[in-house]
Structure 1
């Protein structure tokens, strides 16, 4: 039997569009009359599925709802005004009437659809890195830029610290000390030994949080540890490639018993920064702010330009060379929406 050809990105996109169209047609056949709906209620979007969403009511019940056509954007974590139907129709229990203004929104660029929101009303982004797969500060820097654009507090979380040894400890801790010196919180955890888990749990209880990071760094495993009742599926990092497999397919909001919420988001394989301006990227390197705008030339590219204030600050020991190199790499990738300008989740 001949081997089936792999779908191109365009073909896969068309299939998803056709599936979405069929789903939309099926749900649009449900036309709620006003007298078939109850009084308006406040709710939170637990998860979004195409043209409908699961909404949690004030008393903790979850109802699958249609969306009014006037709603242009709806994501996990949104606070909404909805109305429950007096009878369930084709598994649909109500209608989302309106979306409240968001306190924050985490978005990512998409080659086809522009900037797409991922989750709303988050107060803390936990950038998960690990000893295995290999620690990568460039990826952390890119997530920090994305976090600074949203105004959501980032926390750097080093997972699998039980794997620290003489071969990697000095290099990793040197880099993490740079982030501490800049002013970022750095936390160590290990699912194997339990190190830092209690402290992480206490911090999560104060926020609506989201884990981001490369494949295989242990985001789903951490979620399992913090919420063992969920039984989320996790995959072991490949011994050959050192890469992990994506285990989450739909963003969903969960509640911690001790307080606080967690949005478990799908793996973002191409979470790029190519849609940002150089100014927006520079704002993501918060320690550069005293020097941005003070270069000799207004169109300074911050590479080898004469009179570059950032290069002078690096030479004077005022900013870290590693951070400047990372900044230069990101600037060089702007406007390029190929894989060279993206980083893996």
Structure 2
């Protein structure tokens, strides 16, 4: 009966697309934030001792890193002060400069949504106030960490909902803090809300439009970490964030890619992701995402369930997680597995690296 109901839903969704009607209309359409960071025009007009600054729209993170490596500390700090919005968001800039630049940008911003992000001691590695706001924060010492994790969230996340008291493990900051607490001081975790997420269960959530832009931004962010000499991260992708990670997978130079509560990765199998990373998937028995049809038709839907044995991902145990946002809750088998993946201590958590977990 359940399979029959899911088939009917899939057919209905397909018919909606074919007919061009306004199904999936309960969410509001979003315009993705893309392109170089705010303040780029002023940055391009500046120079350092007659030398042009790298173009934020075209310079690779490696080129940005090489440019900053050739500057004196005084020259670097001068750019931070003159162009905090660019320096704080330009992948390849040394992270210490990004922290200071974003602290300056947040201090100058008067939007009350961002007041808590400006609190002393927070390590904000990206802050873009455009749209609903993009932000990324580091928990732990990223420069000295032996292991690094990146959390990529799903729908309804922005700079204003980045961390909140209600449903903490459904926010990127809450997920990141919980993962770091489970892994210890040798690990740093980045909560990366660096793309425009869907709002509600609308057309944006059912298509890959926002995920395509997010994938570009995530891949560039990861390249920036590598250009800064930081440890390659394990990437944890929740819900619609797994669509972002699926589209970015072939450009992410990481050892592990973990999806949880995923509606699909826009790929039919691990092989179709064209990644060398180990791919892991988790879905708890009470997650409502299991009722979302795993179809992809005329751009609607995200394809095969990554926890389907035929997809080929290693299955992460999630029997103790509850609901769509319970995977990082302390004491759960899923969090223990995530910590083992982040640190590479597979044996310590009873995880095998060959074949799917059952």
Q: TM-score, normalised by structure 1?
A: 0.26
Bigger Rg, which one: 1
User: Whose relative contact order is higher, 1 or 2, with alpha carbons under 8 Å and at least 6 apart?
Assistant: 2
In proportion to residue count, which structure has more helix?
2
Q: TM-score, normalised by structure 2?
A: 0.25
